[in-house]
Amino acid sequence: MDASSILLVGLSHHTAPIAVRERFSFDAEGLRSLLSVLRSNGSEECVLQEVTALATCNRLEVYAISFEPTLAAHQIIGEIARQRGTAQAELTPYVYVKTGRPAIDHLFHVASGLDSLILGEAQILGQVADAYETAQRCGASGSILARLFQAALHCGKRARRETAISSYTTSVSHAAVKQARALLGDLSRCSALILGAGEMAELAAAALRQHRIASLLCINRTQAHAEQLAAQTGGRALTWSQLDEALVTADLVISATAAPSMVLTAATVAQAMRARNGRPLVMFDIAHPRDIDPNVDALPGVMRFDLDHLQHCIDANLGRRQAAVPEVKAIIAEESIAFMEWLAARSVLPAVVALRRRGEAIAQQETERTLRRLLHKHPDDERIRQEVKRLAARIVAKLLHEPTVRLKARAANGDGASFAQALAELFELEIPAPSSALSVTTAGAREYRESGANHHSPLLSASNDAAFFYPEHCNGVYAHE
């Protein structure tokens, strides 16, 4: 198994307009259906050994393991088109296909936020995790893709922990709330009014909740949408006819409707200000076109901000994120190399385990022979028995440690197979032939750890009977599924 068997088929905001992305979008149930069909086809035709799908509003990507990537890519594109009731030719122009290292690097870029519509956005990391978990639950993903997605998640977490790629908000909604907090102070003592119920309104409401806003009022032309937003964010929905009342009680207004013209006139706001008894009102207009009449700026006690006011902050923050891109790419390179080394090391792990077993078998024979002599007169002396066994185990571990490390290094350089074969001939090892369907078992992992491999980090996770490890502690052995 080498990197060339890793396949990516996808479309995203880089290659497809929103209308196309919407047409080929998949909800959770649709994604499970797609994985099920692709995996079953793979089992029958031996084309797809493993498959995982990542679906967001801006991308649909299918990652697969196949020894026939060209045929597999054709099968994936065809099935996506079939499930959306369209011809494959209509989908193909928007699709990109990557194999091997480019496919690996792409997933790491995605998880790190470098391939997102908004640079460094954090939501994609959770979506990558969801893709991994869905494939695991469906039984579509095996040890290779599981390890790949775990490595991608680790890479994404490192990028956000070690760099500023996700620091400094670039969301208009979050920027508005941040500015409101700077003006009003502790939001837990304030009341906010959200106009609108779309994505920007949702983000603003969520940000206000994060800052523990005391009261959140939601108003939208479509009452059901206002009620839905209120239910999601713990707010209270009002009717559009209650807008004047809400303007009197709120300390903060964030307007993000999709109205074609202004919804808050200077006269409406002036009327509310007269009833506020001198209390100031902070207003953020994050709609396009604008919702709030700019003439409210002339009203005493009103502070209004629109997209132009917030853009400077967003541009500065985006610049800070862009400055972190080289650091993130360095992390991606490290993690990609580590995954490639792990993948290469898999080819020699059967030889390592076989060598370990041979050493243990010889050590056990000699240990028992020695103990029979030493314990001839004191057969119940457990202290001597354990000390001799520990001595034999230490000798085996130290003797085999260097060959293990060197064999892994040879595998990383691409010539591990020939050295594993030489090892097998020199020590008369019985090494099972690799299978097209492989897994890493916990029993094999334990054997390999005890053989002297470096392992400084804990086991990442386990799925069913398979366990997956980081490359610096490739503690696994092939097992036929």
Q: 61: which strand partners?
A: 10, 54
Which residue, 211, 169, 204, 182, is CA-closest to 291? 204
- Active-site residue, selected from the candidate residues 57, 155, 190, 313: 57
184: how many CB neighbours lie within 10 A of its CB?
A: 18
Residues 6+ apart with CB under 8 A from 235: 194, 205, 215, 216, 217, 218, 229
* DSSP result, 311-378: HHHHHHHHHHHHHTHHHHHHHHHHHHHHHHHHHHHTTTHHHHHHHHHHHHHHHHHHHHHHHHHHTSS-
Coil vs helix vs strand at 60: strand
Residue at 463: amino acid letter: S
Establish whether 57 is a catalytic residue: yes
Q: Which residues of 370-379 are buried (b: 16+ CB within 10 A; e: fewer)?
A: ebeeeeeeee
* DSSP result, 389-444: HHHHHHHHHHHHHHHHHHHHHHHHTT-HHHHHHHHHHHHT---PPP-SSEEEBHHH
Contacts 24+ apart (CB under 8 A), 223-232: 225/197, 226/197, 228/197, 229/194, 229/197, 229/201, 229/202, 229/205, 232/202, 232/205
Q: 3-state secondary structure string, 78-131?
A: HHHHHHCCCCHHHHHHHCEEEECHHHHHHHHHHHHCCCCCCCCCCHHHHHHHHH
Q: How many whole angstroms separate alpha carbon 43 and alpha carbon 469?
A: 26
Q: How many whole angstroms separate alpha carbon 368 and alpha carbon 468?
A: 35
What angle, 0 to 180 degrees and rounded to 10, lies between the N-to-C axes of helices 69-83 and 28-45?
140
- For residues 176 and 311, is the Cβ–Cβ distance under 8 A? no
List the catalytic residues: 57
